[in-house]
Amino acid sequence: MKKILAIAIVTVLTVALCVSANAQLNIDRLFINANDLNEGTDVKANDPIEINAGDKVYILGWAANPDGALKEIVWSVDGGADQKCSDIYRDRSDVAGAGIAIADNGTHGGFGIDAAADGGMMELLGIGSVAAGAHVLTIKAVYADGTSESLDYNISVSGESSQPAAEKDPDTWLCKAGGTVATGWWMHPFTDQEWEINFKFTTPNAFEGFVSTLFANPEGATVKINVLDADGNVLDTVEHTQAGDGLATITFNKAFAPGTYTIQFKSTDNGAHFVVGSSEAGDIPVEISGNGNTNESTLAAPIILLTGAVNPGSGSTPSQPSNPKTADAAVIAIAAVAVVALAGVVVAKKVR
């Protein structure tokens, strides 16, 4: 009986080994940023693979399964949700011809092309938004029969993101407009002193700009807007000229991955003042600092709405102001606050 059981176990293991040997995921190339075999450097053997946040990652290879054709290639980080890859597949009848049992004779079995001119290698979409640090990158082949197999790579991500998420993230409020009159955050020295004010926050979403009701005096005053990382390093800078008082859409030169940042308003025109922000808490807590006057209470509460990132290759533009729950209601709320606030600005200007 023991011999029979032992033989049975050996038989099962042998069959399992045969199935495992026939089902294969093979990644021939893994390139960072370069999508051309003539220019890229294969880094798949590196441990860990060094990736700067914002980098693009491309792969080329094939996957074979005798019981089900390749359905798709996906990727994930640290055991998280599966993420999409670009739709670049090809037939690999040569793999079947090499004696490897493969469903459908290699149809759809390859991913990536040998030259960028022919469509390029397969891109791991959105990997540029992975947070800095050490991670395990999993590349998985999913077969039509419901099975899958994967390969793991140690990666080390550092630096700032230069690529937004593959899909647009929701808009989120840094500051909400909560009433007709509330304490606003002011910057109005009316002297030769330089001023700045900082809005530090941690967002779970990628973002590429914000919408705010800004009030400027004099009209046409310019303010510098910096994006700082968690350590206070400047990641991006734009200048905004406020032609009067009203709604402003600010778009940065790049999108930023989820994380901790500071949006910093910094004076360029001495003697000018801006009004930004709100006294009511938004969806994301904000820490406020700076040397501007932050305690005026003469105006309706302005707003700051952080706008989600969009796919850079889609030709999309930043979203319009919208509450994550009800876009139309948010636009109406912004308009109502702007009207009340502008009335307050007129009164404030006359007083001053």
H or E element, residue 117: none
What letter would DSSP give residue 128?
G
The owner of tokens 């197999």 is 149
- 209: helix, coil or strand? strand
C-alpha 179 chain-centroid distance = 32
Cα–Cα distances (Å) from 95 to 42, 119, 316, in that order, read 21, 21, 40
Please provide the CATH number assigned to the domain covering 24-158.
2.60.40.10
Q: In the chain, where does DSSP find H-type helix?
A: 2-22, 93-97, 327-351
Residue 122 and residue 133: Cα distance in Å, rounded?
24
Residue spans per domain, the chain = 24-158, 172-351
Q: How many CA atoms lie within 13 A of 254 on its CB side?
A: 18
Strands 148-158 and 49-52: parallel
Residue-by-residue pLDDT tens, the chain, 352 positions: 333 333 333 333 333 333 334 568 999 999 998 888 888 899 999 999 999 888 899 999 999 988 888 999 999 999 888 888 988 899 888 887 777 888 888 888 999 988 777 778 999 988 888 888 899 999 999 999 889 999 999 999 987 544 444 467 788 888 877 644 444 555 555 556 778 888 899 988 888 899 887 877 777 788 899 999 888 888 889 999 887 777 889 999 877 878 889 999 888 876 667 777 766 778 888 888 877 665 555 555 567 899 987 643 333 333 333 333 223 333 334 444 443 343 343 333 323 3
Architecture of domain 172-351: Sandwich (2.60)
Tell me the Cα Rg of the chain: 27
Backbone φ, ψ for residue 21 (5° rounding): -70, -30
pTM for the predicted model, two decimal places: 0.46
